[in-house]
Chains A and B, each alone.
Chain A
Amino acid sequence: MTHQATSEATPADQQQPAPQPAAAGGEPLIEIRNLHRFFGRLKAVNDVSFKAYAGQVMGFIGPNGAGKTTTMRILATLDVPTAGDAFVGGYSVIDDPDRVRRIMGFMPDSFGRYSNMDVVEYLDFFARAYGFSGKRRRDAVERVLVFTELRKLAEKSIDTLSKGMSQRLALGRTLIHDPAVLILDEPAAGLDPRARVELRELIRLLATELSKTVLISSHILTELGEICDSAAIIEAGRILASGTIEEIGQVQRERRGKSTSTVLALRVLAGIENVERWLVQQPFVSSVKVAGSVAGFEFEGDEAARHKLLKALLAQGFEVVEFHGKSESLEDAFMAITEGIMQ
């Protein structure tokens, strides 16, 4: 993934022609260009632009009311933008919603339950609704049952499914027409830890094994951090940053004027307060934070300087048991970027 993290759409983006339907892997499968969606005075989505490529899992992160669901609904052709456009597989959601629907699967935050229906009937209905018939339809249902491991529950009424199983079924419904692009809105909401891990594995498989492009929103950032290749952070309808998690972290560091700094962490057996006091006096060290027996800090020096620091720590007699570079997590990036603006 070589695209750059960006927080603002360039004027050049606005002048670009519509992309042709994506055939090769180089073209973005999801492209949002200067998207606006206003509800009266409320600017739910305000000039949002980002891209996602084939086989990529992209996290779409933001606080409640940030505009995630609105953006996803526009991508899913359930809403129309006030201005701007969004493209799925190169097709505009405004001009060609029918084509977009054929290559896109949307899993909303609500399940969409039908009464008096079992699991197979539910999937069979959606396969029919996507125009599948005969053997093709039966194969599609079977493929989804196997992938989501719902085979054992095939005859079970969907009214009696647990939340975890319901989410699996909802994912199965989204996959029934084998779309290249998946848009998942809060798929892990309300799931127990086990179900969350299982769902996470399924989503990971979709990207790695089946080369699906996944745009996923969630509040559970640690989960997203583990499955996402990239992320777009949105607040108050505006994209604050987008790109890989490292790129987002780098952008933040550059904004703070510390483009070469890395985050380091060390753990000691005892005397962490003394370590903290010592660290703040050292060159290249800043933003020291202590949690338990671990101290984290930003270090602007090179590899040699880092070696010297470790040597000095040991020379001071601190009982260091761990010393390592700490990759900035999605949670860190999110907290650093967003300001908690409500609208």
Chain B
Amino acid sequence: MSTVERTSRWLDKVGDWSNSILVKETRQALKSRQFLITFMLLLTASWAISAFGLLMAGNAIEYGREGGQFFYIFYVVLLVAILIIVPHGAFRSLLSEQEQNTFELLSITSLSPKQIVWGKLLSALVQVFIYYSAIAPFIAFTSHLPGFEYPAVAYLLVVSVLASLGLSMMALMFATTATQRQWQALNSVAVLGGLLFGFFFFLTVAMAIMRSGATFEQKWFWWANGFGLVAFASYFILCRQITTAQLTFQSDNRSTGIRLTCAAQLLLAWTGLSLYLLVEGHGSMNRESVLGLVTLSTIHLSIVGLFVTAEPDFLSRRVRRSIPANPLWRLFVVPFFPGGGRGYLYIVLQAILVCVTAIVVLAAAFDPPTVAPTVTIAPVEYLFGFIESVTGWLTGDPDGPQSAAVRDYLAGLTAYISGFLTGHEQVWTHHLQVIVCVACYVVIYVGLAAILGRWGRALSSEIKPAHIRVIAFLVFLTGAIGPYIPITLFGPRMRYQLFAISNPFTTIWEIESRKGQGGIINFFSTAWVSFQEHSSSADFSEAVRLTWSTLHGTGDSGIVMLLTLGAGCMLLVNLPAVKNSVQQIWFREAVPVSRRQRRRTDLPALSSQSSVPEPRSDPANLASNATLDSNVE
């Protein structure tokens, strides 16, 4: 057997083993005019740069530091190909599958959506490596010139592969988000704009690195790269999950993967911060950084919430089949199953977890404050003192360093909670107030989106989750911008007013800038005393008005109180829907069709069966229980 035959057979085997989309895309790409033109332009530009560069550099080529400059120009050429052409090619490739009606043909083959996405992505990666191999001789040439820094060049080349991969993934995600022509056209413009932005951003970063050199010896560089890499990986996975979900069959589970990824992102962010504080010590970061991460986490939760709460609560038979049999496990996975009610639960639970984690991190990582013991906090201290002694007993060394650390931590935690309740320790209190307020905003606005979702679905089956998301976002915008209108009208110097409470940004800023005045107990006691005073001398409504004006002077504790009440009300309003959605998983049942929906669709004799809990193992029952997939997105 000749070498050619052996190579051919080997390649054939590699082709069999490879992703079929990758094989097809590579064949197509290598034959395409776009690839040929880009490849030839890249080579021609590189030749021209080499020739003209050498001519223009003259003697400087011997003794100057031209290596870096030469590399940078080659690098710009490479970036055009791998950060604009390749990701745009991936975008076009998936979009044309929809335009040419070939995606439907793919979706009925044995290929899973995941394989399709990976195939497209790997074919982009193959093209990146082809462009790298084309420009490699030119970079090798510049390496002989003075001023060529191997570590910085290697770093940039590796990072740009990741950037290309990330942009290709995002482009693929955008390709799946629109099915109608006009939205697809808008998406194309957005993707092209995004790619150009990415290109110029990366070019600026590369220029900074080339000028100042990569600071490999500094600790922060590695921390920043570590965090950057983890963030990249998590968002890459998220984009892939979204793309795969968009391509997944309607009756399949499109939501759980995305929910798990988003939850993992929060976990990673807080683990990263804790790790940083643990390694670098609390002096490396101020408390406001922790509050910053709380704010970022809640923005993340709000965006995710906008998507998960708009989902219909209906569970298709396929999804219901994947509900675990173990009751405990079933309860644990409830928030990760598709549906608006479960989506709200998922967001609220995470908001609570973020709050608790932030308090724990603040209490553990920073110096505990000294709190003068008062009658109010004594029982709380007593409780934590008891926990401390139990912990000391469990660790086996009541006076050892572990116990001291636990004591410090518990003291901090005690101070936080007591400060929050009494308002005695202002700095600690306002941190806690900020944390509680941002969580309340998430609960309120995401809750509102959940209510809108249910209302929209009950109103008409033609109202889709995308419509709900847009309406919910507009409601949020109204809440955020609305209070600004009178403030703008009455002059820029106007102080913060309570009616601006619907704007989370200005409200949080207000609480942050006031540095805490009063606490919840203080608020209640002031309210009670004020009401008693005024009710004795005026009628009820007047007493309420006077109490309100007194409370307005108690500072941000009034805001916190109102937000906490608002969040509580929102939780109560959403409670029945959440309860139903938990029951759906707990009893593994379908959502009963509402009377209104039943009237609208005129479904004969189907809805009566749909609310009956269905044994999973009985295929006959599964089939005879006629599905009502009208709610499937």
Contact = CB atoms under 8 A, between A and B. Distances in A.
B343 to A, nearest CB: 21
Contacts of A18: 619-620, 622-624
A95 B250 contact: no
Interface in A84-104: 84-85, 92, 94-95, 97-98, 101-102, 104
A14 B605 CA distance: 9
B611 to A, nearest CB: 15
Given A80-B250, A95-B317, A102-B110, A34 B626 contact: yes
Contacts of A38: 461, 601, 630
Nearest to B34: A116
B605 A80 contact: no
Nearest to B31: A116
B541 interface: no
A162 interface: no
B397 interface: no
Interface stretch (A105-113, A236-244, A249-257, A288-296): A105-113
Interface string B3-33: 0000000001100110011011001100110
Contacts of B284: none
Given A14-B605, A101-B108, A114-B100, A94 B619 contact: no
Interface in A53-104: 76-85, 92, 94-95, 97-98, 101-102, 104
B102 A114 contact: yes
A323 interface: no
Contacts of A14: 605, 624, 626
B23 A84 contact: no
Contacts of B251: 80, 94, 97
A241 to B, nearest CB: 20
A110 B318 CA distance: 29
A36 interface: yes
B606 interface: yes
A101 B105 CA distance: 11
Max chain B CB contacts within 10 Å: which of A113, A117, A125? A125
Given A102-B110, A129-B20, A80 B629 contact: yes
Nearest to A34: B626
Contacts of B604: 47
Contacts of B31: 116-117
A2 B195 CA distance: 63
A134 interface: yes
Contacts of A116: 27-28, 31-32
A80 B632 contact: yes
Contacts of B12: 134
B109 interface: yes
A85 B626 contact: yes
Given A85-B626, A121-B27, A129 B110 contact: yes
B104 interface: yes
A115 interface: yes
A78 B106 CA distance: 11
A128 interface: yes
Nearest to B24: A125
B627 A85 contact: yes
B23 A125 contact: yes
Given A18-B620, A112-B100, A76 B632 contact: no
Interface in A304-338: none
Contacts of B109: 101, 126, 129-130
Contact of A112 (B20, B27, B28, B105): B105
Nearest to A128: B20
Interface string B600-612: 0101111000000
A85 B606 CA distance: 12
A177 to B, nearest CB: 8
Given A38-B630, A112-B102, A116-B32, A83 B603 contact: yes
A209 to B, nearest CB: 24
A130 B626 contact: no
Interface in B315-348: 316-318, 321
Nearest to A18: B623
A131 interface: yes
B225 interface: no
Contacts of A121: 24, 27
A134 B317 CA distance: 37
B462 interface: yes
Nearest to A93: B251
Nearest to A17: B620
Contacts of B16: 128, 133-134, 137
Given A18-B620, A18-B622, A101-B109, A112 B101 contact: yes
B627 A108 contact: no
Given A95-B622, A97-B249, A128-B23, A81 B101 contact: no
Contacts of B629: 80-83, 94
Contact of A16 (B110, B318, B624, B628): B624
B549 interface: no
B624 A17 contact: yes
B623 A173 contact: no
B36 to A, nearest CB: 11
Given A80-B629, A83-B606, A115-B28, A129 B619 contact: no
Max chain A CB contacts within 10 Å: which of B28, B321, B460? B28
A40 B601 CA distance: 9
A79 B250 CA distance: 7
A160 interface: no
Interface string A1-38: 00000000000001111100000000000000010101
Nearest to B17: A133
B231 interface: no
A110 B104 CA distance: 11
Contacts of B623: 17-18, 85, 92, 95
Contacts of B619: 17-18, 95
B405 interface: no
B108 A94 contact: no
Given A38-B630, A78-B108, A80-B632, A108 B101 contact: yes
A104 B105 CA distance: 12
A106 B108 contact: yes
B38 to A, nearest CB: 15
Nearest to B610: A83
Interface in B400-451: none
B249 A130 contact: no
23 contacts: A15-B624, A16-B624, A18-B622, A40-B460, A79-B250, A80-B250, A80-B316, A82-B601, A83-B626, A84-B627, A94-B251, A101-B108, A114-B28, A114-B100, A114-B102, A116-B32, A117-B28, A125-B20, A128-B20, A129-B21, A129-B109, A129-B110, A130-B109
The 6 closest A-B pairs by CB, nearest first: A18-B623, A17-B620, A128-B20, A129-B109, A116-B31, A133-B16
Given A95-B619, A173-B105, 4 more contacts: A16-B624, A36-B603, A116-B28, A129-B109
Interface of B: 12-13, 16-17, 20-21, 23-24, 27-28, 31-32, 100-102, 104-111, 249-251, 316-318, 321, 460-462, 601, 603-606, 619-620, 622-624, 626-630, 632
